């Protein structure tokens, strides 16, 4: 275990070896036989991780899970399945991104690691010994024997609770299995690729902050978008955009409780904290990590990729597209979840009136460049979405509103995008007014009903985007770049891989165009099947895919998994209709 932040997603790391193998800290349990083969899987229909170790001498399993409800605990159970296996366990935390010193103390129940502000307790029935700033133990298990470790945060003065016996451990395990299977049973998706859709839903659930319903963009920070460094960010926050799309993805497949929790968080925090109707781009879920960017110069970075950043200076950017994504989510929740309240509507109404006054402003846009604001086409499209959904919601629910004003501004945006956002020379909508750069975000146009998927302009843009980057397009071996750096400098150093969610967006755009062109539907299916092959062995995706198929960027990425759900849902439905 080389990454863990406690007590929240955006808290400082306790284990961070993924960012610095020597200093970062880890909780390592593995056979002493280095020749053992390792396999991993999830316990069926759960988020319980099983790591299997196979060798001629024996087979063993390490089962990792966090019991749901009650105290925050990490449980690690080791079981010998066949033969005899000798293990070494090493728990070596490095608090606050390896910046805070700590003291390790052995106790009758295990060990405790104390800092000035935070402490960890490790409970086990095995004898431990000190090793540097950590503890370790060597132990052997025969067939049928088990050993357990329980890690929990604790107040500095608290005693370490004794490790539960095996019967209690089994009860915790079965209760956790039951929780995940009960949760997953609410999934209404029964189509093709059901296993991948359910795994994506389980991943999104893991990225949800239970006390508020907020959904973080990813569980990690510091993982590079290209090995070596440059574009390295912290995604452990709630982006309005990512969370809104996640709500859409979960709502489509039956998870209405998560959607309701997110709507409650939205009403009580971002919208409640905005007297004029404007929104911040992202929000923290805890109170420990500031949003301003900080470089951890003492960490070498993932495989030497630096600088390692925590916090995110993009939090101060103006990104107008978030209003469309948010209003689309509110509209869909009102339609497929539950009717929104009058109090929430009043906050939405204030937001829409603010947008009427501000949609003409240049902004940084969805890709968060550091080169200054532009008149981004995708941002304008999503401003249109916000006003369109607001007007529809006002009419559907007969809410008091400034609907005529919203419709007037909506139509003005539409005409402006069609006139200034379209390049006849490129045969496509471009990234910003006056630019000739393509932008994969414009693939969302038919997905949000701005444009028909079979509109001649849309079909020409699909053709333009599907060209190789060498020929001015964005498609490379079936994978989509979000834009071309040569045509759209973004003020950042380094390069990026292809964006997984953009590939799924292209799948969905082709799927919709395939209603009148069967070849495009076949193309969408092949692209989707190929894309499934880029998931890791557990069915999880990072933000990007590199030229050799490697995962790049933070992991697992909510945006990738929600776009997979949406693409699978619509592609399966289209294939079903054709059959």
Winning range, highest mean pLDDT, from 122-136, 271-285, 485-499: 122-136
pLDDT score at 520 = 96
CB atoms within 10 A of CB 2: 17
pLDDT score at 117 = 84
Band of pLDDT at residue 37, cut at 50, 70 and 90? very high
Check pLDDT > 70 for residue 437: yes
Weakest mean pLDDT among 70-84, 262-276, 431-445: 262-276
Band of pLDDT at residue 286, cut at 50, 70 and 90? low
Q: Nearest Cα to 385, choosing from 295, 449, 317?
A: 449
Q: Nearest Cα to 322, choosing from 401, 385, 388, 273?
A: 385
- Quick check: 10 and 237 in contact, CB under 8 A? yes
Contacts of 154 (CB under 8 A, 6+ apart): 112, 119, 120, 121, 160
Identical fold, 4-158+176-182 and 196-578: no
Please give the Cα distance from 346 to 401 (Å, whole number): 9
Band of pLDDT at residue 45, cut at 50, 70 and 90? very high
pLDDT score at 491 = 54
Please give the Cα distance from 17 to 385 (Å, whole number): 43
Check pLDDT > 80 for residue 274: no
pLDDT score at 215 = 87
Residue matched to tokens 């990104």: 319
Q: Which CATH number fits domain 196-578: 1.10.540.10, 3.80.30.20, 1.10.1040.50, 1.50.10.10?
A: 1.50.10.10
Q: Nearest Cα to 379, choosing from 352, 350, 415, 417?
A: 417
Q: Take residue 509 and report the two structure tokens written for it.
A: 């755009």
Band of pLDDT at residue 359, cut at 50, 70 and 90? very high
Check pLDDT > 80 for residue 251: yes
Q: Nearest Cα to 63, choosing from 73, 55, 72, 51?
A: 51
- The number of angstroms, rounded, from the C-alpha of 53 to the middle of its chain's C-alpha atoms is 29
Please give the Cα distance from 468 to 159 (Å, whole number): 61
Q: Using one digit for the tens of pLDDT, what is the confidence trace for 363-378?
A: 999 988 777 899 999 9
Please give the Cα distance from 502 to 366 (Å, whole number): 12
Q: Take residue 564 and report the two structure tokens written for it.
A: 């997979």
Mean pLDDT of the chain: 92
Band of pLDDT at residue 171, cut at 50, 70 and 90? very high
Please give the Cα distance from 271 to 279 (Å, whole number): 7
CB atoms within 10 A of CB 8: 18
Band of pLDDT at residue 2, cut at 50, 70 and 90? very high
Q: Using one digit for the tens of pLDDT, what is the confidence trace for 385-421?
A: 999 999 999 999 999 999 999 999 999 999 999 999 9
Q: Using one digit for the tens of pLDDT, what is the confidence trace for 291-345?
A: 788 999 999 999 999 899 998 888 888 999 999 999 999 999 999 889 999 999 9
Please give the Cα distance from 259 to 205 (Å, whole number): 11
pLDDT score at 155 = 64
What would the mean pLDDT of 354-358 be, rounded to a whole number?
Answer: 97
| pTM of this structure | 0.94
Band of pLDDT at residue 492, cut at 50, 70 and 90? low
Domain residue ranges in the chain: 4-158+176-182, 196-578
Thinking of the domain 4-158+176-182, which architecture would CATH place it in? Distorted Sandwich (2.70)
pLDDT score at 35 = 84
- The number of angstroms, rounded, from the C-alpha of 30 to the middle of its chain's C-alpha atoms is 29
Please give the Cα distance from 3 to 10 (Å, whole number): 12
CA atoms within 13 A on the CB side of 491: 10
pLDDT score at 101 = 95
Band of pLDDT at residue 281, cut at 50, 70 and 90? confident
For the chain, give the percent of residues with pLDDT over 90: 76
DSSP assigned state of 438? B
Q: Nearest Cα to 224, choosing from 26, 492, 22, 559?
A: 492
pLDDT score at 276 = 84
Please give the Cα distance from 251 to 573 (Å, whole number): 16
pLDDT score at 181 = 97
Q: Nearest Cα to 503, choosing from 477, 485, 464?
A: 477
For the chain, give the percent of residues with pLDDT over 70: 96
Q: Using one digit for the tens of pLDDT, what is the confidence trace for 61-97?
A: 999 999 998 788 999 999 999 999 999 999 999 999 9
Contacts of 384 (CB under 8 A, 6+ apart): 324, 410, 413, 414, 417, 450
């Amino acid at each position: 275990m080389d990454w863990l932040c406690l007590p929240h997603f955006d808290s400082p790391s306790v284990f961070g070896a993924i960012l610095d193998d020597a200093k970062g800290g880890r909780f390592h349990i593995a056979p002493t036989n280095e020749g053992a083969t390792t396999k991993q899987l999830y316990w069926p229909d759960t988020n319980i991780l099983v790591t299997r170790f196979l060798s001629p001498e024996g087979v063993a399993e390490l089962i990792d899970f966090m019991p749901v409800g009650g105290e925050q605990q990490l449980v690690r159970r080791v079981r010998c399945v066949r033969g005899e296996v000798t293990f070494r366990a090493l728990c070596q935390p490095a608090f606050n991104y390896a910046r805070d010193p700590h003291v390790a103390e052995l106790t009758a129940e295990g060990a405790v690691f104390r800092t000035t502000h935070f402490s960890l307790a490790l409970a086990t029935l095995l004898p431990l010994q000190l090793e540097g700033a950590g503890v370790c133990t060597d132990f052997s298990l025969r067939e049928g024997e088990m050993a357990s470790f329980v890690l929990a945060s604790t107040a500095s003065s608290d005693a370490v609770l004794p490790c539960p016996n095996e019967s209690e451990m089994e009860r915790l395990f079965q209760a956790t299995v039951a929780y995940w299977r009960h949760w997953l049973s609410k999934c209404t998706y029964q189509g093709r690729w059901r296993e991948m859709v359910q795994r994506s839903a389980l991943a999104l659930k893991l990225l949800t902050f239970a006390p508020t319903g907020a959904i973080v963009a990813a569980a990690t920070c510091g993982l590079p978008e290209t090995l070596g460094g440059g574009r390295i960010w912290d995604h452990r926050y709630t982006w309005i955009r990512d969370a809104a799309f996640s709500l859409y993805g979960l709502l489509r497949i039956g998870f209405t409780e998560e959607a309701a929790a997110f709507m409650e968080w939205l009403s009580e925090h971002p919208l409640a904290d905005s007297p004029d109707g404007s929104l911040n781009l992202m929000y923290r879920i805890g109170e420990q990590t500031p949003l301003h960017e900080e470089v951890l110069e003492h960490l070498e970075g993932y495989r030497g990729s630096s600088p390692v950043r925590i916090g995110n200076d993009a939090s101060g950017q103006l990104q107008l597209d978030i209003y469309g994504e948010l209003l689309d989510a509110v509209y869909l929740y009102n339609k497929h979840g539950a009717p929104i309240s009058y109090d929430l509507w009043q906050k939405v109404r204030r937001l829409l009136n603010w947008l009427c006054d501000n949609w003409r402003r240049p902004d940084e846009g969805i890709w968060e460049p550091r080169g200054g604001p532009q008149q981004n086409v995708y941002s304008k499209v999503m401003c249109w979405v916000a006003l369109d959904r607001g007007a529809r919601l006002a009419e559907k629910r007969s809410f008091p509103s400034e609907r005529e004003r919203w419709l007037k501004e909506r139509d003005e945006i539409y005409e402006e995008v069609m006139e200034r956002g379209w390049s006849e020379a490129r045969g496509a909508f471009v990234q910003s007014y006056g630019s000739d750069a393509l932008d994969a975000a414009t693939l969302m146009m038919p997905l949000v009903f701005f444009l028909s998927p079979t509109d001649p302009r849309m079909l020409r843009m699909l053709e333009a985007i599907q060209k190789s980057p060498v020929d001015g397009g964005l498609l490379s071996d079936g994978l989509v770049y979000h834009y071309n750096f040569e045509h759209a400098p973004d003020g950042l150093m380094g390069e990026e891989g292809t964006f997984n969610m953009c590939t799924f967006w292209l799948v969905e755009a082709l799927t919709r165009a395939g209603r009148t062109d069967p070849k495009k539907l076949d193309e969408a299916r092949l692209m989707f099947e190929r894309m499934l092959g880029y998931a890791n062995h557990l069915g999880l995706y990072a933000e990007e895919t590199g030229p050799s198929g490697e995962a790049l960027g933070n992991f697992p990425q909510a945006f990738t998994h929600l776009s997979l759900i949406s693409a699978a849902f619509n592609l399966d439905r289209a294939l079903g209709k054709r059959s």
